[in-house]
Amino acid sequence: MKKNFGRRGRWALFVSTIALSAMLVIAPQATKVQAQGTLKVGMTLADIPVSFGQPDQGFEGFRFMGLMLYDALINWDMSQGDKPSGLIPGLAESWSVDPSDKTKWTFNLRKNVKFHDGSTFNADAVIFNFDKLLDKNSPQFSARQGSLVNFRIPSIKSYKKIDDYTVEFTTHKPDSFVPYQLCYILMASPTQWEKTGKDWNIFAKTPSGTGPWKLETLVPREKAEFVPFKGHWDATRVPKLDKVITIPIPDPNARTAALLSGQVDWIEAPAPDAIPRIKSKGFKIVANAYPHVWSWHLSRVEGSPWNDIRVRKAANLAVDREGIKALLGGYAVPASGHVTPQDPWYGSPSFKIKYDPEAAKSLLKEAGFSKANPVKIKAMISASGSGQMLPLPMNEYIQQNLAEVGIKVDFEVTEWNALIDLWRAGAKSPQAKGSHVINVSYTTQDPYSSFTRFLRSDLHAPKGVNWGFYNDPKMDDLLNAASAAFDPAERDAVLAKVHAREVDDAAFLWVVHDVAPRAMAQKVKGYVQAKNWFQSLTSAYIE
């Protein structure tokens, strides 16, 4: 009897569970209550970036952790979206290079700046943070943080405190790109590090910087909650929102569903084919060109068909960039070089990159190729990856365009991380298996990342990421002249020459620039999308 009663009890429990589930499904959802001024962001990342100072997970890590909690000596201007985002004073009010010894830089620090924990920012804090990255004997040395950012400061040889608010940096050789390097070094609080047992992993739970946001909660892989730092030194950057919650949603369909169902207010990188649906549901898409280029990096090793400039130019003329833009739902800018024509580094290249298949055919004919006797190219591409947009359909589109003029392309499709290894190894490495192209999209945010690392001959892979073994002594001279030009206008003029020469040489096959579409609810106001990989949420608010 007892046994039978138990069985009935279990049955009753089952029936009640099913009934409850049905009620929950059928019943209309309670009014979606949302705290006023709370912005929920669906990131493309699968995990919350590390919070101990230098973030991981690339520039999205900087965007949604690093630059929220911390400032650098020099910041990016993210206050407007009309012109390219440049460098502006951050924790340093000003900086200058010694006219008599251009390896010495003096940085005058901002006074009355407080960390989130209330301690004061000064020259000791700067030295502490550089020791953390570069001095293996310092107690705060963090190999992990160093590995994330030291490659961005190759010029820094040494640094020292002059007084409480002055720091001097010495570089290995004169290099005007130093400000573009130091803008990646974020200042964490030495006092908080002491308070958290001198352990960066514990510090990460209650981090303290001088940035506009304070970390309130961090649950790995689930969410991070940020609240405004009311004591931020720049009153214009004190956040208007009450709170920002960042949630990792790596799957684009899940991100879209989360936005459409009201679980988040903002998503990064909606899938292009979902954009019409997102718009039809009353959400807005915000986009703006930023320093990004989607290109084919060409191999110039011996035997590569790209060694003939006519073939390189023909490829650049054969690609229908407007078609690719349409493929991307209109969210791309056709490329006519490594940077956009609005960029001060664009210059005046004489080779005009456009869609002209007839001109491409003529060039190939001149070089001895045709549709019947095509140039044979092997290209390494990925199926996904950071900044890669839609690599498979885009590459297939290009393959079709090139085939129409007499360039036959075979793909070697590789997983993204494996492709990065192949990129590091270089076109001459055995792993490249004689490939003539690698498709990795690039940032063009600073001169080194835009040009030097791909074009200077002393940075051939694996020493650097000049993957294709580009080698042009005149280009080397120009790049060296750019890094030796300390007047910004003069430096930009030299970089414009670099770019013009690169385009005239058709050094890459340039395709499009991304415009970083973001989808958000209509109630999100005040956000300005800067022409930058980094963005600021301080001006955003919920109406």
Report in angstroms how near the CB of residue 264 gets to other proteins at its nearest.
9
Q: Say if residue 405 is exposed, middle or buried (CB neighbours under 10 Å; 0-12, 13-18, 19+).
A: buried
Q: Which is nearer to other proteins, 54 or 299 (CB)?
A: 54
Which residue has 């490249």 as its token pair? 432
Closest distance of CB 477 from other proteins, Å: 23
List of residues 6+ apart from 31 with CB closer than 8 A = none
User: What minimum distance in Å lies between the beta carbon of 398 and other proteins?
Assistant: 22
Indicate the Cα dihedral angle 3, 9, 10, 12, nearest 10°: 150
* Least CB distance to other proteins at residue 20 (A): 8
| Cβ nearer to other proteins, comparing 414 with 529 | 414
Is the Cβ of residue 205 or residue 352 nearer to other proteins in the bound state?
205
Comparison of 261 and 373: residue with beta carbon closer to other proteins: 261
Min dist. Cβ of residue 494 to other proteins (A):
23
Per the document, the length of the chain is 543
d(CA 232, CA 131): 25
Contact 192, 518 (CB under 8 A): no
Q: What is the Cα–Cα distance from 503 to 536, expressed in whole angstroms?
A: 33
Compute the half-sphere exposure of residue 89: CA atoms within 13 Å on the CB side of its CA. 13
Both tokens assigned to 216 = 């309130």
Asked whether 509 and 278 are in contact (CB, 8 A), the reply is no
Q: Return d(Cα 4, Cα 381) in angstroms, integer.
A: 64
Beta strands in 90-236 (DSSP E): 92-97, 104-109, 156-163, 166-171, 213-219, 223-228
In DSSP terms, which residues pair with 105 in a beta bridge?
A: 97, 169
Q: What is the DSSP letter of 345?
A: T
CB of 89 to other proteins, least distance (A): 26
Nearer residue to other proteins within complex by CB, 207 or 349: 207
Query: Distances in Å between the alpha carbon of 365 and those of 164, 368, 503?
Result: 68, 5, 22
Least gap, CB of 321 to other proteins (angstroms): 25
Bond prior to 462 in cis (omega within 30° of 0): yes
**533 CB-contact burial (10 Å; exposed 0-12 / middle 13-18 / buried 19+):** buried
Q: Which is nearer to other proteins, 243 or 361 (CB)?
A: 243
- Contacting residues toward other proteins, per CB under 8 A: 14, 20-21, 24-29, 40, 46-47, 50, 52, 56, 58, 143-144, 146-148, 150-151, 154, 200-201, 204, 219-223, 225, 245, 247-251, 253-254, 257-258, 260-263, 281, 414-418, 420-421, 423-424, 440, 453, 462-465
Residue with tokens 């980094």: 534
Is residue 76 classed as helix, strand or coil in its secondary structure? strand
Output the six-digit token pair for 333. 């800018």
How many Cβ atoms are within 10 Å of 164's Cβ, its own excluded?
A: 12
CB of 41 to other proteins, least distance (A): 10
Task: Pick between residue 8 and residue 352 the one whose CB is nearest to other proteins.
Answer: 8
CB-count burial class (<10 Å; 0-12, 13-18, 19+) for 20: exposed
Q: Which is nearer to other proteins, 227 or 403 (CB)?
A: 227
Closest to other proteins by CB, 206 vs 400, is 206
Q: Which two tokens stand for residue 222?
A: 């689930």
Q: Are 438 and 466 within 8 A, CB to CB?
A: no
- Residue among 88 and 219 whose Cβ is closer to other proteins: 219
Give 21 or 373: the residue with its C-beta nearer to other proteins.
Answer: 21
Tell the smallest beta-carbon distance from residue 179 to other proteins (Å): 19
How far out from the chain centre does Cα 391 lie? 17
Angle (nearest 5°) at CA 447 between 177 and 188? 55
CB-wise, 46 or 88, nearer to other proteins?
Answer: 46
User: To the nearest whole angstrom, how small is the minimum distance from the Cβ of residue 371 to other proteins?
Assistant: 35
The encoded tokens of residue 232 equal 């931020």
Phi, psi of 132 (to 5 degrees): -55, -35
Which is nearer to other proteins, 14 or 164 (by Cβ)?
A: 14
